[in-house]
A = this chain, B = another copy of it.
Amino acid sequence: MTPTAGKTATLFTDTPLALDGGAVLSPVTVGYETYGTLNDAGNNAVLICHALTGDQYVASTHPITGKPGWWERLVGPGKLIDTDKYFVVCSNVLGSCLGTTGPWQDNPETGKPWGTSFPVITIRDMVRVQAGLVAHLGIDKLMMVIGGSMGGMQVQEWLTTYPERLHSAVMLATAPRHTAQNIAFHEVGRQAIMADPDWCDGRYYDHDVKPAKGLSVARMTAHITYLSEDALTAKFGRNLQNREEVTFGFEADFQVESYLRHQGSSFVDRFDANSYLYITRAMDYLDIAARHGGRLADAFKPAAHVRCCVISFTSDWLYPTVENKSIVHALNAAGVPVSFAEIESPFGHDAFLLDVPEMDHMLTGFVKAAARTNGLFFDDQETGDA
Interface residues of A (CB under 8 A from B): 20-22, 116, 119-120, 177-181, 183-185, 187-188, 190-192, 194-197, 213-214, 216-217, 220-221, 224, 229, 232-233, 235-238, 246, 248-250, 252, 254, 256-257, 260-261, 264, 277, 281, 284-285, 287
**Closest chain B CB from A274 CB (angstroms):** 10
Chain B residue at smallest Cβ distance from A236: B180
Report the Cα distance A221→B249, complex, angstroms.
22
Can you tell how many copies of this chain the complex includes? 2
A216: chain B residues at CB < 8 Å are: 191, 195
Contacts of A250 in B (CB 8 A): 116, 120, 190, 194, 277, 281
Q: What residues of chain B lie closer than 8 Å to A220, measured between beta carbons?
A: 184, 187-188, 191
Q: Are B254 and A180 in contact (CB under 8 A)?
A: yes
The answer for the CA separation of A22 and B287 in the assembled complex, in Å, is: 55
Q: A220-B187, A221-B221 are in contact. Are A249 and B181 (CB under 8 A)?
A: no
User: By the criterion CB–CB under 8 Å, are A22 and B248 in contact?
Assistant: yes
CA distance A121 to B209 in the complex (A): 37
Task: Look across to chain B and name the residue whose beta carbon is closest to the beta carbon of A264.
Answer: B191
A236 to B187, CA, bound (A): 14
Which single member of B116, B180, B214, B233 contacts A238 (CB below 8 Å)? B180
* Residue among B116, B177, B180, B260 making CB contact with A187, cutoff 8 Å: B260
Closest B residue to A211 by beta carbon equals B195
Q: How far is A216 from B190 in the complex, measured between Cα atoms in Å?
A: 12
Closest-CB distance, A327 to chain B (whole angstroms)? 16
Those 4 A-B pairs whose CB atoms lie nearest each other, nearest first:
A21-B248, A195-B213, A180-B232, A120-B248
Docked CA distance A246–B22 (Å):
12
Contacts known (A232-B179, A250-B116, A257-B183); A217 close to B238, Cβ less than 8 A = no
Which listed residue (B190, B192, B235) contacts A180, Cβ 8 A? B235
Closest to A254 in B: B183
Q: Which of A21, A116, A217, A224 has the most CB of B within 10 A?
A: A217
A161 CB → nearest B CB, Å? 18
| B254 x A284 contact (CB < 8 A) | yes
Name the distance in Å between A339's Cβ and chain B's nearest Cβ: 27
The reply to whether A238 and B195 contact each other, CB–CB distance below 8 Å, is no
Q: Are B195 and A217 in contact (CB under 8 A)?
A: yes
Residues of B within 8 A of A179 (CB): 229, 232-233, 237-238
Chain B neighbourhood of A235, CB < 8 A? 180
B256 touches A221 (CB 8 A): no
Determine the chain B residues whose CB is within 8 A of the CB of A261 once the complex forms. 187, 191
Q: Which residues of B contact A238 (CB under 8 A)?
A: 177-180, 183, 287
How long is the Cα–Cα vector from A210 to B192 in the complex, in angstroms? 16
The docked-state distance in angstroms from the alpha carbon of A51 to that of B217 is 24
